[in-house]
Amino acid sequence: MSNYPVVAIAGVTGAVGAEFIATMDRRGFRVGRLKALASARSAGNTIDFRGQRIVIEELTEHSFAGVDIALFSAGGGISRKFAPIAVKAGAVVVDNSSAFRMDPDVPLVIPEINARRIREHKGIVANPNCAAITALVPLWPIHRANRIKRVILSTYQAASGAGAAAMEELVESTRASLNGEAYQQKVLPHPYAFNLFSHNTAIDPATGYNDEETKVIQETRKILEDQRIAVGVTCVRVPVLRAHCEAITFECENPITEHDVRELLSGAPGVKIVDDRVKNYFPMPIDASGQDDVLVGRIRKDLSDPTGHSISMFVAADQLLKGAALNAIQIAELLPQRVMA
């Protein structure tokens, strides 16, 4: 692959698409030429990229001729239709949707954890679910040293996870509420201002788990390559504009202390400890927004486990960055290399 690849972004007008552009620029990602792809209604508009005005093209079956890397963030249906076309045209696809994550032939990659899997791709590399990334980046250094048997987590997921339209709906519904005006939501199923609700994905009537929760369970096992790990999860949408938070309690095979966890996470790639008990200052969305690292704090012994095998903690991460665009760009940066992590 050329050191200056032709890069296509499918879904360039969305929230993650905009972060693809900003992240490539900020990290100095080499691009020979950029193709901006979106739906027909956006075709003809322009975006700025490194001092150039790039005309947005309609995404079609012919969009990928000459493309080396295709970054997808346009939804699972679009990915299922167009990613194989891009691969057939010679591109390597990094897909941000759930379309291929559980395909046994598609690597599901968080570079801090399993970058070596990138070299196994057959044209597509999948970007994990944002909630899974947020949990696993800090859990991995612990799991590697002292196998985690069980994880219980609750998510506090921001509007950014549902896209730019949901972010706008939160802003507008909050404004209407403060002004005493009626507001009819169009994107999310429930009123968003000053409210929270179960994650807006379909509920499995048999298990009671929604799709987001099922993704976290399945993807955790695939990424950690451990089908025995027990995962319980509750995913909730909260009225925060950007950056997800999670309360995590995990049980290890061997006893583990707060000190052990801090030592393992100190200097771990992609992790920043924010854990000031005196000032009651811990990870918050307002601090995680715009940051590459997963913020980790409230590290403490799980008092419900007298055996000393369990720890509780609280984490925050920018869903649009490490939960989406940044992770995908990190994968793309490694594509030309023989990754031996």
274 three-state secondary structure? coil
* Token pair belonging to 48: 């700025």
- What's the whole-number mean pLDDT along residues 253-279? 98
Catalytic residue among 244, 245, 252, 309: 244
- What's the whole-number mean pLDDT along residues 254-269? 97
Contact 64, 85 (CB under 8 A): yes
For residue 3, the model assigns a pLDDT of 78
Name residue 79's amino acid. S
Give which of 162, 151, 224, 230 is closest to 197, Cα–Cα: 162
Q: What is the mean pLDDT of the chain?
A: 95
What is the per-residue pLDDT across 281-295, written as a single tens digit (0 to 9) for each? 999 999 999 999 999
Q: Which residue has the tokens 């995680």?
A: 288
What is the per-residue pLDDT across 301-317, written as a single tens digit (0 to 9) for each? 999 999 999 999 999 99
Pairing mode of beta strands 57-58, 230-237 = unpaired
Q: Which domains does the chain have, with CATH numbers?
A: 6-127+324-334 (3.40.50.720), 132-319 (3.30.360.10)
What is the per-residue pLDDT across 31-74, written as a single tens digit (0 to 9) for each? 999 999 999 999 999 999 999 999 999 999 999 999 999 999 99
What is the per-residue pLDDT across 174-186, written as a single tens digit (0 to 9) for each? 999 999 999 999 9
Is 130 one of the catalytic residues?
yes
pLDDT band at 341 (very low <50, low <70, confident <90, very high): very low
Catalytic residue among 121, 130, 143, 252: 130
101-104: long-range pairs with CB below 8 Å, 24+: 101/126, 101/128, 101/129, 101/215, 101/218, 101/219, 101/222, 102/218, 102/219, 102/222
Least confident of 14-18, 216-220, 235-239: 14-18
Least confident of 40-49, 117-126, 265-274, 332-341: 332-341
DSSP 197-264: EE-SSPBPTTT--BHHHHHHHHHHHHHHT-TT-EEEEEEEE-S-SS-EEEEEEEEESS---HHHHHHH
* Stated pTM of the model: 0.94
For the cut 60, the answer to whether the pLDDT of residue 130 exceeds it is yes
pLDDT band at 336 (very low <50, low <70, confident <90, very high): low
For residue 1, the model assigns a pLDDT of 58
For the cut 60, the answer to whether the pLDDT of residue 340 exceeds it is no
What is the per-residue pLDDT across 139-175, written as a single tens digit (0 to 9) for each? 999 999 999 999 999 999 999 999 889 999 999 999 9
For residue 132, the model assigns a pLDDT of 97
Cα–Cα distance for residue pair 267/125, rounded to 1 Å: 27
For the cut 60, the answer to whether the pLDDT of residue 123 exceeds it is yes
For the cut 50, the answer to whether the pLDDT of residue 337 exceeds it is no
User: What is the 8-class DSSP label of residue 162?
Assistant: G
271 CB-side CA count, 13 A: 26
270: left (phi over 0), alpha (psi -120 to 50) or beta: left
85 CB-side CA count, 13 A: 15
For residue 56, the model assigns a pLDDT of 97
For residue 338, the model assigns a pLDDT of 34
